[in-house]
Structure 1
Amino acid sequence: MKLKNGLKAGWPPIVVVILLLLIWQLAVTWGGTASWLLPSPLKIWQDGTTDMARVWMHTFATVRLMLIGFIVGVTGGVIVASCLHRVPFLKAGFYPLLILSQNVPVIALGPLLIILFGFGILPKIILIALVCFFPVTMSTLDGFMQTDRNMYNYMQMIGASRRQIFYKLELPHALPFLFTGLKISATYSVMGAVIAEWLGGGVGLGYYMILQKSGFRADREFVAIIIIVVLSLLFFWLIAGLEKLVVRWNAKRSS
């Protein structure tokens, strides 16, 4: 039944995408638009398969970079959220700074990180980690604050320690909120990796896009964009699937 409902919900977007691709193909073909300016979907497919070996090399480099940055950012976000929650003084001091930090454009930090740490992989990882850090930190903090107060008071009443309350009540209650932040960070990590590769480096989809832009190869630019979108969707679905395995009680309650 769930599979049948999923298929019913999934076919309308697929039909819309197919129609848009068909209109695009016909518009480019009948309009006589130059392929270097706006390539047709068939042209994009042909060039993507022709340059597939190089595309895969850059794709693997981007995936490796985004996974490292994602893990660092998520780990840091969970640790910081836990510390701020357990130490109210720290939360009062650092919470406003976390909000203010989001007013700084990520792309503006890239040159500064390159100046501080050079052109290696470290500034790229830091940039991706910063992009992933905020959603995880804020969603986890929100989860801690939404803990059932009746259960909290009950555990205090029966003599549970602060550590026991945190690990047995607050942390499990925050898991659905944490996964919300993880799903947001999963898509942001791909974007952060591409931006980091724009700013410097010799491999990755961001670097590949810069090369194709210099050669006026819009078809290969579209190939890179499609791969970026697919990576974001796959990573999002991976986190969503992991959420169903880990937070089973929440899935049962929402169904």
Structure 2
Amino acid sequence: MKTEGGSTAAKRRAGERAAEAVEDGFVVGLGTGSTTAHAIRAIGRAVDDGLAVRGIPTSFQSRQLALEVGIPLTDLDAVDGVDLAIDGADQVVDGETGAHGALIKGGGAAHAREKLVDTAADRFVVVADPSKLTDRLERPVPVEVLPDAHTVTADRIEELGGDPTLRDAERKDGPVVTDNGNLVLDCAFGPIDDPDELATRLSRLPGVVEHGLFVGVADATYVGTDDGVEVRRY
């Protein structure tokens, strides 16, 4: 029998714990990423056992996995609301600061759709392993931009103190293209002391579709560990 590595086991525990919060009749936002994939698989097993839910995927990836495990799908236009959204994060502030619970998302270039679904949910829980926790956000912030505006928007981001880099695709020539048909700038700002202020400034820039700062959105983070799951509530 193959033994899981600590990080893989931690992700699985976090995802499966979040899936336990899904109740019969729920509309569930299905996030993107390796940790959320464990939640989607767990929800699929519950559906096999008779749980009635509808899922709203946030990316092509999460849609394909949900279909594979048998979760009935819908979209925001067809429902009155979203009961619960489950999603991962690239960084989560875990400390006694005003930014406690702030996130950076967008490593999978799905943050525009993710933010739409996560903010529409009555409750949004993050699933993560301890490597994603930080005292202060410092990873580059993914910014989805209109293709025709990416150079102009990059200049404006530099004026805000950022260092934008157009994200290149892997195993193909050219940049990453999002599910929405846009491009992604990964914008390094160094340590971010005030994520809320930076989020506001980025949102005001013409050409920006959405950025990966999620401030005041998450209700809780389920942190998978080698021993179990720790819950941070905000």
Give the TM-score category using the shorter length.
under 0.3
The TM-score with structure 1 as length reference comes to 0.21
Could you state the TM-score of these two structures normalised by the residue count of structure 2? 0.22
Greater CA radius of gyration, 1 or 2?
1
